[in-house]
Structure 1
Amino acid sequence: MRILLFTGKGGVGKTTLAAATAVRLAASGRETLVVSTDPAHSLADAFGTRLTGEPSLVDTRLHASHVDSRGLVDSAWGELRQQLRTVLAGAGVDELDAEELTVVPGLDELLALTEVARLARTGQWDAVVVDCGPTAETLRLLALPDAIATYLQRAFPARSVRGMVAGVGRQGWVDSIGRLAEHLAELRDMLADPQVTGVRLVLTPERLVVAESKRTLAALALRDIRVDGMIANRLVPKAGLRRGPAATWLRTRRGEQDAVLAELKASTPIGLHVVEHRAAEPVGLEALGSLADELYGRADPLGSNASRPPSLLQIRPEGTGYVLRVAIPLSEESDVNLARVGDDLAITVDGMRRLVPLPAVLRRYEVADASVDGDGLLLQFAGAAL
């Protein structure tokens, strides 16, 4: 079973391309589910049919659904929130403070991703295609398993938890916290496993969009999430031998787009597919199937010509210290900040931050120097940390 996450800047056509990919997969004989976690819920428009939170049959071997994240919060989180409020109130926490402590940031998005994982684990599907929200929302979504796990650890440390439970009774909440922790661990494993999850980054061949796409590649690599394909959508057709103002405009615009894509190809080994702009919006199974033929040709949509990504952290001894490579794609424009937080390394790339636990051997050392090369960030550790 494979999971494909489609994301990109708003308006680049990711929903249409996700739907077209799902149509192709189903036509090849695979049981396929395409599901939207995008609050805009335009997947139904692409198929020209109505969708709900439950998978419904769209065509032979093809099902589709919209994730109802608000409903998931009401059904899945309500009981646990009540249990946590009871525990906190019993420990002497003011009722209003207890209410605030049980509001977990980003819970809607987390439960949407959890629902995708649940659907994937049913074993009913050979492929699950996910129409994610715009890039910023997707990056926040994919960061949530780590972020909320850290939040829970800080808000409810194990020692204080045991004391609160002893004072007010178990109330079944310990099991609930345990189940949530298991879900978070499963999500992290699912997202970081390139044999299971791949990300398709959709873009239009414009410099601003490509610049954002490069930042997205770095941010996802920082999360150990693999982008195994990029799709450049809406290339203007080639003018050929035609003459006149319209043909001149087409040649000029296509030349600009080709130059942008050439720069993008030179900056990353990730495979790039291209799709030309169509006169009519592709809506419905037939139009989506035709789009998929242009997108993939004879290739398998689940295939990837991207090499297996290296581990995020690579360490080697050097002199009396060590060199740590953080394998994230960086450009000259990347804004990188580093900070040591106890035994963790806080890495911020273009505003996206992650706490990376340092390998045990490096915890006695301090960062002496940092540099960037074509394969990522290089940190030199030397001397015993004070």
Structure 2
Amino acid sequence: MRILLFTGKGGVGKTTLAAATAARMAAFGRKALVVSTDPAHSLADAFGMALAAEPAEVDTSLYAAHIDARGLVDRHWSTLREHLRRVVAGIGLDALDAEELTVLPGVDELLALTEVARLAETGPWDVVVVDCGPTAETLRLLALPEAIAGYLDRMRAARLVAEVRAAADTVGTLATHLAGLRALLTDADTTTVRLVLTPERLAVAETRRTLAALALRGVHVDALVANRVVPRARRWQGPAAAWLRTRRAEQDAVLAELDASTPLTVHRVEHRAAEPVGAAALLAVADELYADTDPLDVGRPPGAPLLSVTEDGDDYLLAIALPLPDGSDPDLARVGDDLAVTVDGTRRLVALPLMLRRHTVTDAEADSAGLLLRFTPGEEDRP
């Protein structure tokens, strides 16, 4: 079973391409589910039919659903939060502290992600295609397992779990569940991201930043899709044709730069005069996007791991595979046995391999392939 996450800047057409991909998978004979975590109900518009939280068949082997994150919060988190609030208040914290400690930022997005995992694990699907929210929301969503792990540590620091067994069981179960979500997101053989963009410089710049942010999260991107490419004005004449040629030339230049800056394949889909609605129209989009190729075969296989270590005399070289965007200024800081890596506002604590923990960073280089750090042993560790 595969999970494909489609995301991109708002308005680039990711919902249409996610739905088209699922339709193509079903046409190939696979049982496909396309599900939206976006609060906007665009997926229902793409199929021209109402969708609910449970999967509904929209065509042969093709199912769709729209996750109601707010409803999930009302059903699942409210009771748990009230239970934890009583636990916190019961050990002597005042009502304000109890309220603050039991607020979980992003709980609606977390439950949406949890529901995607549930549908993927319990259904008969060969592939689950996820229409995610805009890029910023998706990055926050994918960061939640780590962020909430910090929340659980905060609860432990407040000695909540040591005081009440019920709270310990609750927090332990949630921590285990989050670890499972994290493993699912970073398993490149199962879960991959496809970034959708329009061929404009601002959209391409955001895409490059997103590639770096996802690499920091350990999430694998297997393809880029440039949507709404202006059709070529082949034999047309007049002002409209001149405008189309100029616009297409601009787009081609932007995409050529993107092609040169990433090993990922940049797939192209031309702008249509009419919005594709319904399975037949979506299949036409998929035909242009994938031609005769299985949608699962177009992506780039997992490349180098995020971290790799080589020896250089007494020193070690640590390579961090990050697709750094132009003009980025990565920040590195040692935090105990971890390395804090920050790129364009996205920060991750990377656990250092054991052999590096007694060494010191003495040099660092950055290029389009990522970061290369030199670790030198302290005097007491030299031979």
Could you tell me how far apart the structure 2 residues matched to 1:43 and 1:331 are? 31
Distance 1:309 1:37 in 2: 28
Look up the equivalent residue of 2:313 and give its one-letter code.
G
Q: Do the aligned partners of 1:53 and 1:66 also contact (CA within 8 Å) in 2? A: yes
Distance 2:15 2:208 in 1: 20
Aligned residue number for residue 162 of structure 2 = 163
Moved more, 369-378 or 214-223: 369-378
Deviation at 1:321, TM superposition (A): 2.3
CA distance in 2, matches of 1:14, 1:254: 21
1:108 partnered with 2:108: yes
- Counterpart secondary structure, 1:348: strand
Distance (Å, rounded) in 2 between the aligned partners of 1:63 and 1:234: 26
Structure 1 position 35, deviation (Å): 0.6
Take 2:50 and 2:34, find their aligned partners in 1: how far apart are those partners?
14
**Correspondence for 1:343:** 337
Q: How big is the shift at 1:193?
A: 0.9
The within-5 A match list for 1:129-208 is: 129-157=129-157, 160-165=159-164, 170=165, 172-208=166-202
Q: 3-state DSSP class of the match of 1:43?
A: helix
Distance 1:123 1:57, change over 3 A: closer
The equivalences for 1:204-223 within 5 A come to: 204-223=198-217
In the TM superposition, what is the alpha-carbon distance from 1:319 to its structure 2 partner? 2.8
Q: CA deviation at 1:333?
A: 1.2
Q: How far apart are 1:385 and its partner, in Å?
A: 9.3
Corresponding residue number in structure 2 for 1:274: 268
Contact 1:88/1:164, CA 8 A, preserved across alignment: no
Q: Displacement of 1:323 after TM fit?
A: 1.3
Aligned partner of 2:58 in structure 1 is 58
1:225-253 alpha-carbon deviations (Å, 9 max, x no partner)? 11101110011111113222111111111
* 2:76 counterpart residue number: 76
2:365 matches 1:371 = yes
Deviation (angstroms), 1:334: 1.4
Segments of 5+ residues of structure 2 without an aligned counterpart are: none
Q: How does the TM-score come out when normalised to structure 1?
A: 0.95
CA distance in 2, matches of 1:199, 1:74: 29
Deviates more, 1:79-88 or 1:243-252: 79-88
Give, in angstroms, the shift of residue 186 of structure 1.
1.0
Match of 1:359 in 2: 353
Q: Equivalent residue for 2:225? A: 231
**Aligned position for 1:381:** 375
Query: Which consecutive residues of structure 1, in runs of 5 or more, have no partner in the other structure?
Result: none
Check 1:195–1:122 CA distance in 2 against 1; reply closer, same or farther (3 A cut): same
State the 1:195 CA deviation: 0.9
CA deviations over 1:183-206 (Å, ceiling 9, x no partner): 111111111111101111000100
Deviation per residue, 1:320-347 (Å, 9 max, x gap): 2211111111133113111111211111
3-state SS of paired residue (2:296): coil
Instruction: Give the whole-Å Cα distance in 2 for the aligned partners of 1:149 and 1:27.
Output: 40
Name the CA distance, whole Å, in 1 between partners of 2:335 and 2:124.
44
**Aligned mate of 1:256, from 250, 255, 259:** 250
Aligned with residue 326 of structure 1, among 288, 303, 320: 320
Does structure 2 retain, via aligned residues, the 8 Å contact 1:366–1:385?
Answer: no
Structure 1 segments of 4 or more deviating over 4 A?
Answer: none
Partner residue in 2 for 1:247:
241
Determine whether 1:18 maps to 2:28: no
Change (3 A) 1:385 1:343: farther
Match of 1:301 in 2: 295
Moved more, 95-104 or 302-311: 302-311
Give me the whole-angstrom Cα distance separating, in 2, the residues matched to 1:110 and 1:318: 43
CA distance in 2 between partners of 1:226 and 1:325 (Å)? 17
Q: Secondary structure at the match of 1:253?
A: helix
Query: TM-score scaled by structure 2?
Result: 0.95
RMSD: 1.6
- The secondary structure found in structure 1 opposite 2:194 is strand
* Residues 146-182 of structure 1: per-residue CA shift (max 9 Å, x gap): 111122113324x9345312xxxx2x33222222112
Q: 1:380 to 1:249 in 2, by over 3 A?
A: same
CA contact (8 A) 1:364 1:385 kept: no
The answer on whether the counterparts of 1:35 and 1:64 sit within 8 Å (CA) in structure 2 is yes
1:156 is paired with a residue whose SS is helix
Taking only the aligned residue pairs, the percentage that are identical comes to 65
